[in-house]
Amino acid sequence: MELVAYWRLLMQSRRLISVTTLCGLLVSFLVTMSMTPTYKSSAQLFVSTPASAVDISTLLTGSSFSQQRVKSYAQIINSPVNLGPVVKELKLKITAEELSKNITASAPLDTVLISLTVNDTNPKRAARIANAVAQQFGITVKSLELQEIDTESPIKVSIAKFAVPPTAPSSPKKSINYLLGLLLGFGLGFGIASLRKLLDNTVKSEDDLGEIPLLAAIGFDLNADEKPLITQIGRYAARTEAFRTLRTNLKHANPGVNPKSIVISSALPNEGKSTSAINIAISLSQSGEKVLLVEADLRRPKIPIYLEFASKVIGLSELLSSPTKLTWINVKKHLRKHPEIDLQVLTSGRIPPNPAELLESGRFRELMTILKSKFDYIIIDCPPLLPITDAAIVAAQTDGAILVSHAGTTKIPHYEGARDAIRAVGAVVLGVILNKIPEDAMEYEYGYKYGYPKYYGYSGKPYDPLNSSERDTRYAPSKAEVDRMNEDEFVFVKGKRFKEELLRDRNKI
């Protein structure tokens, strides 16, 4: 992974990493608070060989003798022989063996010094034990060294530095523990995010689509369930701009090729194919095209629900099952015009017992020929491709298909299976719509490449020229655009909405 990829992963998983980092800090805090503080107190011993006690010619020889002895003394300073009297003297409630675990001694190289360190939960007691062990060690050394009566010991142990009670505990080291907790928490979160990305086989970006072009990246909208159609939201909302981008890409993606009949489908249910089909049709009709929206999902039709049509209206199934000859006059009787949108709709009609056979019949091909002669675009909403063959059947009789994939949910094998199902019948996959992309993915995976509106100052709210803070960043609509605006997009002034205010203020921006 490149450095940019790591940064994207960090930004996309920042919530997870933040949680694990805070958890690591919390765990380190709890562990640190549960630990009993210990204190270290140190004393230093000096080992020498008096010139009068041994037969040596120079002080250097005596010093070398002391250095050889120091190496052994450092190993026996915490032995029971030396610590037994200390336990009795200080009346400690532990044995000499237990006390030895809290005492360490070391002899720096090429010196006659012994550093003695005592660990204890009480700072004063640690100092008392260190000083007592240092004093007792001098006595222990005399008893260990061979000497005759009335002669001096060949080794003399002196206390060079007395131990003092420490002012701060030696452990736990709070700052180090907290830093370690932060690092471990961050590493755990980043590791989980990396593993999740490594094991994630869902469609997330254009790179997962293979050679199929990405027509539009639709960002996740919290209001999509309540307002699924682009006519129900602001003219400059993110979803509205995304479908305008799709419309442009659809018209100009393949120069010289102008698909008129287009199937909209997905690999599995609940990926947003029906709402995408409606919004594509609306977007095309808003550009002045003559568009027909066909509900070819004869199993679970959704378009009548979104457009608020009566569910028992005659439609496609009646046209295909009727014995009468197909003519434009007969077909026109089955079409419905939306009362608020300049859009013709052919609903599914009653649910038939044999939808696949009806869609594969020659009567459907004849119907498509008639419709192509009357409309600029025919947008056909079909069932999902993997569980049902209806969409592939219809795609074989049209100019191509558009696949809708739920970003981060649709698995790559499912997407590839849907793509291959279209190609298997000789149809063309015109492109893919990535639907419900999280905002952080839009920002770091796509950026402004697909015209995500927030980068142009669009917040999804109606344009308000009376708000002076927006005059430098908002687009000033033309008179034709104002005339096409919905009522919700007019300027709100003193409880009423006025087009005149919008037009009059346009020349001031």
Confidence class for position 283, pLDDT limits 50, 70, 90? very high
Q: Residue 467 above 70 pLDDT?
A: no
pLDDT one-digit tens code per residue, 29-88: 999 999 999 999 999 988 877 655 445 454 445 556 566 677 778 888 888 888 999 999
Distances (CA, A) of 351 to 293, 296, 344: 18, 11, 21
High-pLDDT (> 90) share of the chain, %: 40
The least confident of 24-33, 62-71, 145-154 is 145-154
Task: For 61-96, give one letter per residue: b (16+ CB within 10 A) or e.
Answer: ebbebbbebbeebbeebbeeebbbbbbeeeebeeeb
Give 323's pLDDT tier (boundaries 50, 70, 90): confident
pLDDT mean across residues, the chain? 81
Which of the four pLDDT bands, split at 50, 70 and 90, describes residue 441? low
Which run of H or of E encompasses 432? strand 429-437
- At a CB cut-off of 8 Å and minimum separation 6, what does 462 contact? 234, 235, 488, 489, 490, 491, 492
Q: Would you say residue 132 has pLDDT above 60? A: yes
Among 469, 462, 385, 372, smallest CA distance to 425 is for 385
> Residue 487: is its pLDDT beyond 60?
no
Supply 278's token pair: 């409606």
pLDDT of residue 71: 74
Structure confidence at residue 498 as a pLDDT band (50, 70, 90) = very low
Residues 182-213 pLDDT 10s: 999 999 999 999 998 888 889 988 888 988 99
- 242-272 pLDDT per residue, tens: 899 899 888 876 666 688 899 999 999 999 9
- Given a cut of 90, is residue 405 above it in pLDDT? yes
Residue 494 scores a pLDDT above 90:
no
Helix (H) and strand (E) counts in the chain: 19, 14
* Residues in Cβ contact with 364 at an 8 Å cutoff, skipping those fewer than 6 apart: 320, 358, 394, 397
pLDDT of residue 495: 36
**What is the pLDDT at residue 51?**
54
pLDDT for position 458: 41
The one-letter amino acid at 419: R
Q: Is the pLDDT of residue 333 over 70?
A: yes
The answer on pLDDT for 374 being more than 80 is: yes
Q: What is the mean pLDDT of residues 304-333?
A: 85
pLDDT at 117: 93
Task: Please determine, for residue 373, whether its predicted confidence score (pLDDT) is greater than 80.
Answer: yes
**Residue located via tokens 């708000």:** 467
pLDDT of residue 497: 40
pLDDT of residue 507: 47
Whether residue 433 is predicted with pLDDT greater than 90 in this model: the reply is yes
Rounded CA gap, 141 and 47, in Å? Answer: 10
**Mode of pairing for the β-strands spanning 113-120 and 39-48:** antiparallel
Domains of the chain: 3-35+179-199 (no CATH), 39-161 (3.30.70.1130), 206-461 (3.40.50.300), 462-509 (no CATH)
Q: Please enumerate in sequence order all residues whose Cβ is within 8 A of that of 69, keeping only pairs 6 or more positions apart, or say none.
A: 47, 49, 155
CB 431 within 8 Å of CB 213: yes
Order across the sheet with 113-120: list the strands. 103-106, 113-120, 39-48, 156-161
> What pLDDT score was predicted for residue 269?
92
Model pLDDT, residue 460: 42
Ordered alpha helix ranges (H), 93-214? 96-100, 123-144, 174-199
The pLDDT assigned to 466 comes to: 39
Peptide bond into 259 cis (omega under 30): no
Q: Sort 385 into a burial class: Cβ within 10 Å, 0-12 / 13-18 / 19+.
A: buried
% pLDDT > 70, the chain: 79
